[in-house]
Amino acid sequence: MWSACVLFLAFSSAALALDNGLMRTPPMGWLAWERFRCDIDCQNDPYNCISEQLFMDMADRLSEDGWKELGYVYVNIDDCWSSKDRDAQGRLQPDPKRFPRGIPHLAQYVHDRGLKLGIYGDMGTLTCGGYPGTTLDKIETDAQTFADWGIDMLKLDGCYSNSSYQEQGYPMMSKALNATGRPIGYSCSWPAYQGGLPPKVNYTLLGQICNLWRNYDDIQDSWDSVMGIVDWFFDNQDALQPAAAPGQWNDPDMLIIGDFSLSLDQSRAQMALWSIMAAPLFMSNDLRTISSAARSVLQNKAVISINQDPLGIQGRRLLKEKSGIQVFQRPLSKGASALVFFSRRSDMPYRYTTSLKTLGYQPGVFEVFDVFSEQRLPELKDSTQFTVSINPSGVVMWYIYPAADRWKEAEFEGFSKKLIGPKFHRHANEVDAPLVL
| Residues tagged active-site | 157, 218
Helix (H) or strand (E) segment spanning residue 204: helix 203-206
Strand, helix or coil at 87? coil
Strand order in the sheet with 435-436: 350-354, 386-390, 435-436
Q: Read out DSSP for 117-170?
A: EEEEEESSSB-TTSSB---GGGHHHHHHHHHHHT--EEEEE-TT--HHHHHHHH
Helix %, strand %, coil % of the chain (to 5): 35, 20, 45
Backbone φ and ψ of 308, nearest 5°: -90, 15
Query: Do the beta carbons of residue 276 and residue 312 sit within 8 Å?
Result: no
Query: Do the beta carbons of residue 366 and residue 411 sit within 8 Å?
Result: no
Query: Do the beta carbons of residue 320 and residue 253 sit within 8 Å?
Result: no
Which residues contact residue 205 at a Cβ distance below 8 angstroms, ignoring those fewer than 6 apart? Answer: 8, 11, 15
- Please report, for residues 45, 59, 108, 184, 287, the alpha-carbon distance to residue 111 in angstroms, rounded to integers and kept in the order given: 27, 9, 5, 14, 18
